[in-house]
Amino acid sequence: MLDMKWLREHAEEVQAVAGQKGIAVSIDDLLRRDEERRRLKRETDALREKRNRLSHEIGQLMALQGQAALSRREAPTDSDEAHRLRKEMIAVNARLAELAEELRAAELGVAELCERVPNVVSPDTPVGRSDQDNVERKRVGEPRLFEFEARDHIELGELHGLIDVPRGVKAAGSRHYYLKGAGVLLHRAVQQLALELLIGKGFTPLEVPLMAKEAAMAATAYFPQGKEQAYGVEGEGRYLVGTSEVPLVMYYAGEVVDLDVPIKLAAASMCFRSEVGSAGRDVRGLYRVHQFAKVEQVVLCRADPELSETLLQEITANAEELLQKLELPYRQVAVCTGDMSQKTYKQYDIETWMPSRAAYGETHSSSNLHDFQARRANIRYRDEKGTLRFCHTLNNTAVASPRILIPLLENHQREDGSIHIPEALRPYMNGMSELRAE
């Protein structure tokens, strides 16, 4: 959500960003509706003031008439003036009732359009239509060249008894799976490694709800644009979350927080995504599934662009450090306008080399939202002058599994089918240094 005064002054810029992000919203229509809302509000306030004045005048007049009647030992009667004032009061109340309906409709219309207005983007965000237009910033490590016919992660998973997709489909339908034995240990090991890395960097871990109210999804800017990707709980107005960013941000929704130092939160949680629109894409394996686990970083800081930019680099570096511990080659890309969500001001993706795809595949994402999300969630702090301001929020996927298992298994395989386990994971794998098929 953007400040309406600022939006009026930057309408063309916001409309251009809406087009770049593929969001159908008319900023001119929003501003016209907002002007009508403000006109109705001014008329309502003026009539309420008039009603208060009339009520006061009628009260004074009735008191004088009562005193006069008492002195004459007669019952008080309405004067022409009192009758006129009462008729005027009836007309004012009738118009206020009409205005209340008109104002409610106007406010609803403005709110609905505001929910679709995108955040603006940073000056260094590349302009483009899709992930094909993202701009590579750097590469770390070299993609592995195999001297033998490499197996993909499903073949490796079946060879070692780690993954069972057919039974996952039997139980729950397409894009579902079972992890077994050491597959479960790897799945949990990468999460625990990520969580402990973040705790060591000052993040507070939280166990979070896996469901959120519709209002919470809207407050964190996942609705309305992403509603089709969420699984709803029928009849309850709640949704399974696609990221713990939602409950982490909502932890402070509606509050005034102390941001003398940034608030850093982390959660390891199950996540759910319907994958609407991805029919026929990535149907083999674990790249695009309905249920997965993520370790998420969320940061709240003062509304200082330089500070939030520094923190964006920091949380991105945390994800990179994890990949280095996993001994995996990756690249970092600046995400273009057409590949960004409504709420994002600036975004980096980290893509890890996946031999079976002969390409880098997205495994991590870092975003700086400035105060867009905090405005919707109403999270504020007091600045040096004591003025309430909306904070900046940032988020990053420290690791997502089972997707990370794709490069982990494929890049570390050997010709005999065994799989090297990176040293950083061994404490969570009962000390195993490799996987060997029985």
> How do residues 359-388 score in pLDDT, each as one tens digit?
999 999 999 999 999 999 999 999 999 999
Tell me, what's the pLDDT at 66?
58
- Match 């009628």 to its residue by tokens: 58
Range in 156-165, 412-421, 429-438 with the lowest mean pLDDT: 429-438
Distance of CA 319 to the CA centre of its chain: 19
Helix (H, G, I), strand (E, B) or coil at 353: strand
Cα torsion 219, 222, 228, 233: sign = negative
Q: Which residues on adjacent β-strands are paired with residue 368?
A: 346, 394
Torsion of CA 425, 428, 431, 432, to 10 degrees: -60
pTM > 0.85: yes
Question: In this predicted model, what pLDDT tens digit does every residue of 118-172 receive, in sequence order?
Answer: 999 999 999 999 999 999 999 999 999 999 999 999 999 999 999 999 999 999 9
Tell me, what's the pLDDT at 225?
87
Catalytic residue among 365, 366, 367, 401: 365
Q: CB of 3 within 8 A of CB of 375?
A: yes
Tell me, what's the pLDDT at 75?
47
The reply to whether 403 belongs to the active site is yes
The reply to whether 365 belongs to the active site is yes
- Match 């409504």 to its residue by tokens: 342
What are the structural domains of the chain? 4-114 (1.10.287.40), 131-435 (3.30.930.10)
Catalytic residue among 37, 151, 376, 403: 403
User: What is the distance between the alpha carbons of residues 402 and 424, in angstroms, rounded to a whole number?
Assistant: 18
- Region 172-178 average pLDDT: 95
Q: How confident is the model at residue 61 (pLDDT cuts 50, 70, 90)?
A: confident
- Asked if pLDDT for residue 197 goes beyond 70, the answer is yes
Q: CB of 308 within 8 A of CB of 373?
A: no
Tell me, what's the pLDDT at 163?
97
Across the chain, mean pLDDT equals 93
- Match 């907002």 to its residue by tokens: 34
Tell me, what's the pLDDT at 94?
94
Tell me, what's the pLDDT at 409?
98
Phi-psi region of 284 (alpha: psi -120 to 50; beta: other; left: phi over 0): beta
- Asked if pLDDT for residue 271 goes beyond 70, the answer is yes
- Region 292-312 average pLDDT: 98
The encoded tokens of residue 165 equal 């997709």
412: closest CA among 425, 394, 399, 427? 425
- Asked if pLDDT for residue 60 goes beyond 90, the answer is no
Higher-pLDDT residue of 254, 234: 254
Residue 317's Cβ-count burial label (10 Å; 0-12, 13-18, 19+) is: middle
Catalytic residue among 362, 375, 376, 380: 362
Tell me, what's the pLDDT at 74?
52
Q: How confident is the model at residue 68 (pLDDT cuts 50, 70, 90)?
A: low
Range in 52-56, 116-120, 198-202, 425-429 with the lowest mean pLDDT: 52-56
User: What is the distance between the alpha carbons of residues 174 and 283, in angstroms, rounded to a whole number?
Assistant: 8
Q: Above pLDDT 90, what percent of the chain?
A: 87
Catalytic residue among 273, 375, 376, 380: 273
- Asked if pLDDT for residue 338 goes beyond 70, the answer is yes
The encoded tokens of residue 41 equal 């509000």
Q: Above pLDDT 70, what percent of the chain?
A: 95
Strand-strand pairing, 263-272 and 204-205: parallel
- Region 274-292 average pLDDT: 83
Strand-strand pairing, 419-420 and 231-233: unpaired
Catalytic residue among 288, 331, 389, 414: 288
Q: Which residues on adjacent β-strands are paired with residue 393?
A: 300
Residue 384's Cβ-count burial label (10 Å; 0-12, 13-18, 19+) is: exposed
Question: In this predicted model, what pLDDT tens digit does every residue of 73-89 receive, in sequence order?
Answer: 554 455 667 778 888 88
